[in-house]
Structure 1
Amino acid sequence: MPQGNRPFSCEGSVAARILPDGRISDFGFFVSAPPSAQVFASDIPEDKSLALEYSPLDPRAWSVLLASRILHVRQLEIQAAPLREPHSAGVEAGLLPDVRIRDDSGRLVSDDWRHLSRAIEQRFGDDDRHPVLYPERLKREIDELDRIIDNDLIDGLFSIIYATSQPGDDSLGQHDRDFLHGAQTHAVLRRVFYARLGWLDDVLSRRRYLLGDDLTDADLHLFGVLLTLDIGYRSAFPAPDAAIVDYPNLWEYAKRIYAIEGLVNNDERIAIGLLPDEHGLYAEPWGPVAFTETVESIAAAWRSTNPQITGNS
């Protein structure tokens, strides 16, 4: 918030800048680093043990993580990976590890996070035994929603975080520099981000999930954003900005998925800060949880959601 005539600084919590490799385009948007190995279902071996490397702090990781759990892919060992050291000196927050699958020889199968969940479904899904996350009749709609979520929400979220540290002109004072070179871009990117959330909240006012009564791959992509925003990345947003708890349909939807038994494990809840560790302490990997005017504690609101639902509910 502006203090008198002093312009708003968009500088957020340093710890909130837990980011992947990527770059900023000429238009100011974050662009994820291209995958080293794109993925097709036929590229995923069915006769080898596989390992999924990911961070629970990463909104990109949750689609393939949830797909593998919903489909009970026994060949896939799930391995949480630590943050990597940043490339630049003086940057305090670490880099997110790549979301990638390796085979039992250590060979990279794919790090194509945008498409891994669909490839997992196509390779290991069985219509007779498992829920279908990427059905033929909905492929076009799922592809369209995945592109929107990946570009406008996931990469859009990372764009906002990058904009909090826009360097600017050294001849200006710090607050002027933040305002002129960071806050304007920051505000525009936040409007795009919140416009998409508002649109999805309206979609969910008429449906249980994005495309009807059953989970699809698009829901898995969206859930990662909702889970990591409120108690994580939002600490880099101005305090008056909305949280997921401010969108009634998105909030009920997020809690519904979060409550499905077996989709989010206790180690991940501890890493994110939703359960205490063995010492009774709650992790704050993104820094202190952001304030919101609508609930006393965002983290407590998430913690109150208990995993009691089973199956594809």
Structure 2
Amino acid sequence: MAIGKVVTSEEAKEIDKSGKFNRQQNHFTTPFGDQPGMLPVESGRYRLLWAAVCPWAHRSIIAIKLLGLENVISIGKASPIRTEQGWEFSLDHNGVDPVLGIRYLPEIYAKTDPQYSGRATVPTVVDVKTGKVVNNDYFNLTYYWETVFKPFHKADAPDLYPDHLRADIEAFNQTLFHELNNGVYKAGFAQSQSAYEEAYHLVFNRLDELEKRLAHSRYLFGDQITDSDIRLYVTLARFDVAYYSVFNTNRNRLVDFPRLWAYARELYQIPAFGLTTDFQAIKQGYCLGNHAKNPHDILPLGPDISIWNTPI
């Protein structure tokens, strides 16, 4: 099968004239549900493709683990180092996804839409019946796992998106995305000093606010873990090991924020968070992949990740 064109950030027009990074819009955004035109909610029909380096994909995996959906949505895992041909399934036998039969993620994007001109991204949801991409809307995927897939949740699954908090969670998640989740990328991918400095201050202003918020709350919305905690965690988990050095967001490390650091460790020590957090893969993806200018492929030895298991 043809691999399809591998698109760079510049080709996807993600860098504007001022040097700012503007992330591409998701292309496959049909929602899951029971209304006409929606993707049917069925067990065994979909395969979620992810890479352990990617925070957008990681949060879907955490939600799936917390909700007990592992046997409902199958999982395919790409290598953490994105190649010139795109995300590669080199972790699988013979370097091919065992369900979809693809070596590189752009193959299935080309099969789905030969005219697609954006980047082939993770997470990607594929309909295994058709072998085509049906959703790559990373921002909304966890909402679908938490709501319309509820009939398949395990008996003791947490309510990550409770009705009475949904408006607050959605508003919080929008701010979190623009100022922190994607803010670190705005700093790391900036191509002008002014664009970098604007993003840098955005990131640390938000971290300062979150440090204050956690003085009055165990989690972001009280004593229960919500969708927002997953979204914050995946950025915090990558902060010291990648963003601090590779993206130059280096005013402070996560460990320099006492409350955020304790909060992140508490979440890490929950299996759905910790067992899906692969610090080695994160380092490989950011330091050896296309995020860093590292011509000799030197993989940093630090930081010490054993401290994530220290008592809260």
Q: TM-score, normalised by structure 1?
A: 0.70
Shift in Å, 1:109: 2.6
1:23 paired to 2:14: yes
* Alpha-carbon distance between aligned partners in 1 of 2:40 and 2:269, rounded to the nearest angstrom: 30
Q: How does 1:145-184 map to 2 (within 5 A)?
A: 145-163=172-190, 166=191, 182-184=192-194
Shift in Å, 1:41: 3.2
Query: Which of residues 106, 119, 128 in structure 1 aligns to 2:144?
Result: 119
* Alpha-carbon distance between aligned partners in 1 of 2:281 and 2:272, rounded to the nearest angstrom: 16
- Amino acid of the structure 1 residue aligned with 2:28: A
Shift in Å, 1:127: 9.1
Shift in Å, 1:117: 0.3
Shift in Å, 1:50: 2.2
CA deviation string 1:8-55 (max 9, x = no partner): xxxxxxxxx999966135675432221122142312532333221122
Greater relative CO, 1 or 2 (CA 8 Å, sep 6+) = 1
1:135 paired to 2:159: no
**Measured at CA, do residues 65 and 286 of structure 1 come closer, stay the same or move farther in structure 2, by a change above 3 Å?**
same
**Measured at CA, do residues 36 and 199 of structure 1 come closer, stay the same or move farther in structure 2, by a change above 3 Å?**
same
In structure 2, the residue corresponding to 1:54 is in which secondary structure? strand
Match of 2:67 in 1: 71
In structure 1, the residue corresponding to 2:49 is in which secondary structure? strand
Q: How does 1:256-267 map to 2 (within 5 A)?
A: 256-265=266-275
- Note the aligned Cα RMSD (angstroms): 3.3
Shift in Å, 1:304: 2.6
CA deviation string 1:270-311 (max 9, x = no partner): 4235xxxxxxxxx57426xxxxxxxxx9731x32323999xx
- Amino acid of the structure 2 residue aligned with 1:299: P
Query: Which of residues 160, 183, 187 in structure 1 aligns to 2:197?
Result: 187
Question: Does the 8 A contact of 2:188 with 2:248 survive in 1?
Answer: no
Question: Does the 8 A contact of 2:30 with 2:135 survive in 1?
Answer: yes
**Measured at CA, do residues 22 and 243 of structure 1 come closer, stay the same or move farther in structure 2, by a change above 3 Å?**
farther
Shift in Å, 1:123: 2.1
Q: How does 1:1-313 map to 2 (within 5 A)?
A: 23-25=14-16, 29-42=20-33, 43-73=39-69, 74-82=71-79, 83-85=82-84, 97-105=121-129, 106-125=131-150, 126=153, 129-163=156-190, 166=191, 182-238=192-248, 241-265=251-275, 268-273=278-283, 285-286=286-287, 299-300=303-304, 302-306=305-309
Question: Does the 8 A contact of 1:51 with 1:76 survive in 2?
Answer: yes
In structure 1, the residue corresponding to 2:169 is in which secondary structure? helix
* Alpha-carbon distance between aligned partners in 2 of 1:151 and 1:114, rounded to the nearest angstrom: 11
**Measured at CA, do residues 240 and 101 of structure 1 come closer, stay the same or move farther in structure 2, by a change above 3 Å?**
closer
Question: Does the 8 A contact of 1:49 with 1:104 survive in 2?
Answer: yes
**Measured at CA, do residues 227 and 150 of structure 1 come closer, stay the same or move farther in structure 2, by a change above 3 Å?**
same
Shift in Å, 1:239: 8.3
* Alpha-carbon distance between aligned partners in 1 of 2:11 and 2:248, rounded to the nearest angstrom: 22
CA deviation string 1:112-170 (max 9, x = no partner): 0000001111122359531001111000011011111111112211111112xx2xxxx
* Alpha-carbon distance between aligned partners in 2 of 1:57 and 1:21, rounded to the nearest angstrom: 21
Question: Does the 8 A contact of 2:186 with 2:199 survive in 1?
Answer: yes
Shift in Å, 1:208: 0.7
Q: TM-score, normalised by structure 2?
A: 0.70
Question: Does the 8 A contact of 2:53 with 2:285 survive in 1?
Answer: no
Unaligned runs of 5+ in 2: 1-7, 34-38, 87-118, 289-300
* Alpha-carbon distance between aligned partners in 2 of 1:118 and 1:145, rounded to the nearest angstrom: 14
In structure 2, the residue corresponding to 1:123 is in which secondary structure? coil
Question: Does the 8 A contact of 1:55 with 1:96 survive in 2?
Answer: no
Question: Does the 8 A contact of 2:44 with 2:73 survive in 1?
Answer: no
Unaligned runs of 5+ in 1: 1-16, 88-94, 167-181, 274-282, 288-296
Q: Share of identical aligned residues, percent?
A: 24
Shift in Å, 1:71: 0.4
Question: Does the 8 A contact of 1:233 with 1:286 survive in 2?
Answer: no
* Alpha-carbon distance between aligned partners in 1 of 2:180 and 2:44, rounded to the nearest angstrom: 34
